[in-house]
Amino acid sequence: MPGPVIKAHEKYEQDCNQCHDTSDKKQQGQLCVQCHDHKNILDDLTKKTGFHGRLPKSAQTDCKHCHTEHKGRDATIVLLNASTFDHSKTDFLLKGTHEKTSCDACHKSEKKYSEAPSDCYSCHKKADVHEGKQGEKCGDCHKSTSWKETGFDHDKTDFPLKGTHIDTSCAACHINQKYKDTPKTCFDCHQINDAHRGDFGKKCESCHSPKKWDEIHFDHNKKTDFPLYGKHKKASCTSCHTSGDLKSEKSKKKLPKQCYGCHKNDDSHKGQYGKECKTCHASESWQKQKFDHDKKTDFPLHGKHTKIACSQCHKGNLYQKKTSAKDKKSTDCIDCHKKDDVHKGKQGDECNSCHNEKGWHNNVLFDHDFSRFPLIGMHAAIQCEECHLSAEYGKTESDCNFCHANDDVHKTRLGTDCATCHNPNSWETWLFDHDKATDFTIDGAHEELGCYNCHQTASKGKLKASKDCISCHRSLDIHNRQFGRHCGDCHSTKSFKDINIRALK
């Protein structure tokens, strides 16, 4: 006897054959199984499942490899260390929170280890928030990492989860843990979120997608005969589709497709430009006009005309039937700018003879050289207003003295025909040859005289003076005109004392 057997085998201690087959030691393991009710262990060994079925083949038939005997009445013959036991050798692999769970949480002290349940519900019945309504196969939906982390594949149902439905909690759709007969149409769940209040019907999926309500996938260009361009793309559906017109196929109203049908109240022209808005406007913006005035009319817009409003020129109804030539819009400048004519009609109606579309005062085209007063010298550099004191240019005098009376140092004693001596380049630049310009030669004592010695009275226009000596020397005539008015017959211009003797003979 190697030693006392355990207390449970005490009554067989003297009957060695009860446990030992002396003829074949390899059969000892079978004797153990035959004596003990280990049907479950036999099944594991046969099916190679469970802890015993996964042991090495040598250990499967040699029970004493783990369960020793003859160690005393109180000896422990089950050599299992819970801290080092490899649970992966069993049919219940520890995953998630099970890895951190204590052994006695699943293995009760009054039961064998192999009797621990392997299904979720046996341990977690008290934690079942569904109260048994979803059955006992918790693993179909939940994962071992956390109750909140579900592993249920909703795509295998007849309602695959897409978009925001993926992140939605189960309770949001399955009220009170009711999973059967859950509605599958958008409207059944989202009626409270329907901003259209049912006016657009119940087929939310026609326009919206599961990603989010604001992301509309309805292709208006392909599914309707009114493609959306420009600002129509950004307009809300309710801007055009009023209450109830999309509720059902039968109640659908035919919306106007012409601009004026929707934008009548936006027509700042009050209908005077007709109803063909697209002739001038584009869908991008009312303010952005596309009408090409240069190509579609005989009045191209240039200069300031490009920036003015249509109503500045077009006062009446463009589409009203014209009954006469008088009703047609004129392209003459004066017809629009008569009130702007500072010349008061004195310069005629051909405004474009001098002005252009850039501005009334911008690069005036009038060529003064073709007038009766060509601009040369300093005149070419002065402003029009220097000479033309009013807009009635034709009334302006061409005489120099008309403008330069205040500059006349001669006080008109040399006449008002300034151009006789001066030229437009400068007052200081002047040239007058008395001998050539007149028939009164300056010689003798006359050479030392100034102009005013002879020309003493004011005169207008071209200066006219007498050539007779007596006109200037009347007070010096000692002959009292007995010898006539022609002093030069006897005297010379050098001196009165210089007498021509031959004339006396």
Rg of the chain in Å (alpha carbons):
63
pLDDT value of position 325 = 52
139 found inside a domain: no
pLDDT value of position 7 = 92
Q: How confident is the model over 474-503, as a mean pLDDT?
A: 83
339 found inside a domain: no
501 found inside a domain: yes
Higher local confidence (pLDDT), 247 or 161: 161
pLDDT over threshold 70, residue 206: yes
- Percentage of the chain surpassing pLDDT 70? 95
What DSSP string runs through 150-193? E---GGGTTS---GGGTTS-HHHHSGGG--TT---SHHHHHGGG
Contact 298, 329 (CB under 8 A): no
pLDDT per residue over 348-397, tens digit each?
A: 788 888 888 888 888 777 888 888 889 889 998 888 888 888 777 777 88
499 found inside a domain: yes
367 found inside a domain: no
476 found inside a domain: yes
- CA dihedral sign, ordered 34, 36, 40, 44: negative
478 found inside a domain: yes
pLDDT per residue over 399-452, tens digit each?
A: 888 888 898 999 999 998 888 899 898 888 888 899 998 888 999 999 999 988
* Residue written as token pair 């009635």: 392
162 found inside a domain: no
Q: How far apart are the first and last CA of the chain?
A: 209
* Residue written as token pair 């005489």: 399
**What would the two tokens of residue 364 be?**
């005036």
pLDDT per residue over 32-61, tens digit each?
A: 877 877 778 888 888 888 888 888 887 777
Q: What value does the mean pLDDT of the chain take?
A: 83
CA pair distance 279, 101, nearest whole angstrom: 79
What DSSP string runs through 399-468? -HHHHHGGG-TTTTTT-S-GGGTEETTEEEEE---HHHHSS----GGGGG--HHHH--S---SS------
Beta bridge partners of 289: 281
Q: How confident is the model over 26-34, as a mean pLDDT?
A: 79
Answer yes or no: pTM beyond 0.75: no
Q: Which domain holds residue 475?
A: 466-505
pLDDT per residue over 304-338, tens digit each?
A: 888 888 878 887 777 665 555 555 667 888 888 88
Q: How confident is the model over 122-140, as a mean pLDDT?
A: 85
CA pair distance 293, 280, nearest whole angstrom: 10
- Percentage of the chain surpassing pLDDT 90? 6
Number of neighbouring beta carbons within 10 Å of residue 66: 13
Q: How many independent structural domains does the chain possess?
A: 1
pLDDT over threshold 70, residue 252: no
pLDDT over threshold 60, residue 503: no
Q: How confident is the model over 143-171, as a mean pLDDT?
A: 85
pLDDT per residue over 72-91, tens digit each?
A: 999 988 878 888 888 988 88
- CA dihedral sign, ordered 403, 409, 415, 420: negative
By C-alpha distance, which of 1, 186, 476, 141 is closest to 10? 1
pLDDT per residue over 12-21, tens digit each?
A: 899 888 888 8
